A and B are shown apart, each in its own frame.
Chain A
Amino acid sequence: MNMRHFSIPTLAVLSAALLVGEVWAAKPKPSKPPKPQKIEIAVVPGALRYATTRFDVTAGAPVILTLKNSCIMPHNLVLGMPGKADALFQAAMALGDRGMAQSFVPETPDMVAAIRIVNPGQSEALELVAPEAPGEYPYLCTYPGHGTIMRGIMRVKATGEKLEAPIIEKINAPEIVNALRESGVSPKPMGTRERPFVMRSFVPNPNLGDAVLTHYDRGLPAKAYSVSTGEDVEGKDVAAIPGLPTGIAVSFGPEFAYVWDSTECRLLYAWTGGFLDMTPYWGGGTGGGRRSSDYVPWLEGTLIYKAAGAPPIETSGKPVKPKFRGYRVLSGNPEFSYELGDLKIHEHITPTDPGTFMIHYRVENAREPVRLVFDPAIRPQISCDQGGWKDNTLEIPVDHSDHFMLLVRFQPGETFKVDPAKLKNGKVSEEP
């Protein structure tokens, strides 16, 4: 079968259904088949979750399963035999270089049926006959990085048994979006995977260094100033403090947080084990009371990614200063946009399988292959679903630049803890 990457068959009935038909199609129903049950599975945008996480079917009954890809990333759906979700995930990963060509659908008896990769904004339907054996049949997206968290269950019920309503996560439901965030009050804000917390703030600089911070200017030590004489005080310098003024910090809960920066227009660091303690900036408790001379939030947790070297996307000729354009929000998680010369680049960062996160890229206006050059210090952490590697350089063909994703493996680094002694110093100075 001749398939291009991301090709989408236009027929409603997919080859995958034919492929697996032999698994149970040997027992056709003798009488006139009943009307097929229709199940639609949408995708929570940018969140690596099917909106429908459980649905019931009757054994042996016809079902039309539709995967509606309401996300910005490509997804598939692989339905497996009971208890075989992990095995399917492993089998899909084992496809290696052949994965994309096969839509990451493994050929194994553990698989019941599959919908191949569906691109963002597209839908695909699969007609199947439910298995005869009642049980819980898992389905999962075996696209790289998605398989351990993007899962659901099809429950096959015996004939005559009552079918329960599917469990469907409402996308942007008012009761969710209108819920207030205590995180905006507590000096220790925290998000969740379902509802990330986005905070724009001064942020810590965990020694990122000159090679990374190329678009900031340098703040320098200054002479102390005498308020009585209006003159500099010689020999008494005031240090310039490590800190970054234009960070965007996002927390997914204690497992994952990151800082993307609107000046450098790149992911600067990611960590696990906490978020930012805002006490130095917001003061303790729930009322505003800043702390004197200490406005950099405290980082809590262990770095698992730290930017190294120049920004990865190469521009022809000399480095170009990026222009930040803002972000849109997908299920609470920003997709950052910036311009790099003629390129319009969008980056969306999501925690994926345990110990991994993903940077999903969309690059507009690419006229030649997009080349990403990674510093050797971080190259071993990174893999990609597209393109080809040559040493530390990843080349994405023009026709795949509209979306590709980097999978970044956690690489434990420095650990930051809040010194309890610091919390005691709650003095507030006044100078309005």
Chain B
Amino acid sequence: MRIIFFALLSAALAAVSGPASAGPDDAYIVEEIKMPKGIAPEIGGLAFNSKGELVVVTRRSGILIGKPSKDPGAFEWRVFSDQSLHEALGVLVEKDHQLLVSQFPELTRITDTDGDGLADSYETVCDAWGLSGGYHENAGNIVPDGEGNWFLNIGTASYNGITFDRTRGKYSPVGRRGRNFSSVEYRGWVVKVKPDGTMIPWASGFRANNGLCRGPDGNLWATDNQGDYIPTSPLYHVEQGKFYGHPSSLVWDKEFTRDNPQRDPLKEGKEKLDAMRTKPAIQFPHGTMINSPGDPIFDLSGGKFGPFAGQMLVPDESGQRILRVMLEKVGGQWQGACTYLVHDGGLRAGNNRAVFSPDGTALYSGQTMRGWGGPVEGLQRIIYTGKPLFEIQDIRLKPDGFELTFTEPVEPTFAAEAARYHVQRYYYPYSQQYGASQAELTKIEPTQAAISTDGRKVRLTLGEMKAGRIYQLDLVGLISAAGRPLVHPTVAYTANQLAK
């Protein structure tokens, strides 16, 4: 018995000593999809059409459509658009021959009207937002609202870039101030676009919001990127009229400027702004978890993609990882935790857009750094092999700690040792600084780890909990009853609210 234990322990230690890499026993494997030569595979939009073909919108090399094959190197590709669009960053399939595509200046309906396979109509659906010449002025992530309209992310410009002496749309000298700024309309907003092209400003306070999705229950979610006023990359539950913390966008908020058209959001002071903002449902600890969240997607495969059905996945543009998000409602507010779905294992960085295959067994990740850093670009897919997997399936906040659910029963001896649960509590102070360090970093020693009778749950007691803090748990050396090490032993829970 002792020998077996030692064997299990060494396996577990090996697992925590470094990031997992893909092997024959892995539940998730990464495959490289071969793209045709002659394009720059900087992927700004991914979607499947009704025929099961993969629509790939590139930043500057047009739109390709690929017929997937089991062999990742044998996709049959054809060209749908041979035009170089202006930083296309979103796609929605309306019909097999008709796409909605977002690009810097507009939302465009791109159609093959004569059936020859090549698009021949580029109809401007909406161009109601401003454009000032900044490389950071994203317009992307087309998300249907369920009622025939679409949500879009409109990103701010960066002081690292430039402003043109001619801007499309009204220019605001007040909005131009700051590090990431909103010199033209609705920069730093989520907007709603109606089919007739009318645009409704929906929610403000975003910086470089490069992720937007609607959950199966109709809730709208946006990711943003760490930067000024964003101490670490967040996930927001987006609701109409709310302000999420990056101030520049407020210059286009009629309520904010009602009494003073020249009211400067940057002069409000961070305490006032902090009180105004709706806090992220989840904060992704920078470095530890994710550095540049891309477009989130819910796993609606019903289990065909593994044991995490219903959870949200968030690709990382600047890391070789896809995050997994576990949400719950506490005190009437959404909050929750994140861990990895995949970390390394052959995955590249640049993970910008993700889409599930129609059968739900594969997650395609479209990659680009879109001009930042070294070129990281291409298309990969993550396949669920069905092999057994020992992971944290879910985590729930309790009044005095957490309840962890695992994908397999835990090996009880280790799992019952409270000292194996390394817990750190911290928060990220909100300010104009670009990102923030963890503040009030406190180590917490759990007092008890109680295992459920079926071995799938561990009830971790920490004692008194503190609201507005992130609890980061590192589970050291846990193994399943079957002897498998925990693939991703770190989970970070954002406890805005406390459980009662």
Binary contact readout A190-232 vs B (1 if CB under 8 angstroms, 0 otherwise): 0000000111111001000000010011111011010100101
Q: State which residues 82-121 of B face A: CB under 8 Å.
A: 82-86, 103-106, 108-109, 113-114, 116-121
Binary contact readout A158-174 vs B (1 if CB under 8 angstroms, 0 otherwise): 00000000000000101
B177 partner, pick from A223, A282, A332, beta carbons under 8 A: A223
Evaluate contact between B40 and A216: CB separation under 8 angstroms: no
Q: Is B434 an interface residue (CB 8 A)?
A: yes
Evaluate contact between A216 and B166: CB separation under 8 angstroms: yes
Evaluate contact between B169 and A217: CB separation under 8 angstroms: yes
Q: Is A290 an interface residue (CB 8 A)?
A: yes
**Contacts A219-B171, A327-B122, A432-B318: A245 and B165 contacting too (C-beta < 8 A)?**
no
Evaluate contact between A217 and B171: CB separation under 8 angstroms: yes
**Contacts A200-B86, A329-B122: A245 and B135 contacting too (C-beta < 8 A)?**
no
Best-buried of B42, B167, B184 by chain A (most CB within 10 Å): B167
A266 to chain B, nearest CB (A): 14
Evaluate contact between A241 and B40: CB separation under 8 angstroms: no
The interface size of chain B toward A, counting residues with CB under 8 Å, comes to 84
A213: which B residues are within 8 A, CB to CB?
A: 166
B120: which A residues are within 8 A, CB to CB?
A: 328-330
A355: which B residues are within 8 A, CB to CB?
A: none
**Contacts A219-B166, A241-B133: A432 and B208 contacting too (C-beta < 8 A)?**
yes
CA distance A242 to B163 in the complex (A): 9
CA distance A48 to B270 in the complex (A): 62
Q: Is A243 an interface residue (CB 8 A)?
A: yes
A288 partner, pick from B38, B59, B108, B183, beta carbons under 8 A: B59
Evaluate contact between A200 and B103: CB separation under 8 angstroms: yes
CA distance A241 to B293 in the complex (A): 30
Q: State which residues 373-432 of A face B: CB under 8 Å.
A: 428-432
Q: State which residues 286-312 of B face A: CB under 8 Å.
A: 291-292
Evaluate contact between B108 and A326: CB separation under 8 angstroms: yes
* B176 to A, closest residue via Cβ: A222
A-B contact count (CB 8 A): 241
A244: which B residues are within 8 A, CB to CB?
A: 164, 166
A197: which B residues are within 8 A, CB to CB?
A: 83-84
Evaluate contact between A245 and B166: CB separation under 8 angstroms: yes
**Contacts A223-B177, A289-B375, A328-B121: A178 and B78 contacting too (C-beta < 8 A)?**
yes
**Contacts A184-B40, A184-B60: A220 and B176 contacting too (C-beta < 8 A)?**
yes
CA distance A263 to B158 in the complex (A): 23
Evaluate contact between B83 and A243: CB separation under 8 angstroms: no
B369 partner, pick from A202, A288, A295, beta carbons under 8 A: A288
Binary contact readout A234-254 vs B (1 if CB under 8 angstroms, 0 otherwise): 000010111111100000000
Best-buried of B119, B162, B374 by chain A (most CB within 10 Å): B162
**Contacts A217-B169, A218-B167, A241-B165: A288 and B368 contacting too (C-beta < 8 A)?**
yes
CA distance A288 to B166 in the complex (A): 26
B79: which A residues are within 8 A, CB to CB?
A: 177-181
CA distance A181 to B36 in the complex (A): 11
Nearest 8 CB-CB pairs, A to B? A287-B375, A184-B61, A290-B371, A180-B38, A230-B432, A200-B86, A177-B118, A216-B166
Could you show 24 A-B contacts with beta carbons less than 8 Å apart?
A172-B116, A179-B79, A180-B61, A180-B79, A184-B40, A184-B82, A200-B85, A201-B86, A205-B166, A217-B169, A230-B178, A230-B266, A240-B165, A245-B105, A245-B167, A245-B168, A286-B40, A290-B372, A295-B162, A296-B162, A324-B124, A329-B83, A429-B160, A431-B227
For the complex with contacts A219-B183, A225-B178, A283-B375, 17 further pairs of A-B residues with Cβ separation under 8 Å are A181-B39, A181-B82, A182-B38, A205-B166, A217-B168, A217-B169, A217-B171, A225-B177, A227-B179, A243-B133, A245-B168, A282-B371, A286-B40, A295-B133, A295-B162, A325-B124, A329-B122
B binding-site residues for A, Cβ under 8 Å = 36-40, 42, 58-62, 78-79, 82-86, 103-106, 108-109, 113-114, 116-124, 127, 131-135, 158-171, 173, 176-179, 183-184, 208, 225, 227-228, 266, 291-292, 317-318, 368-375, 377, 431-434
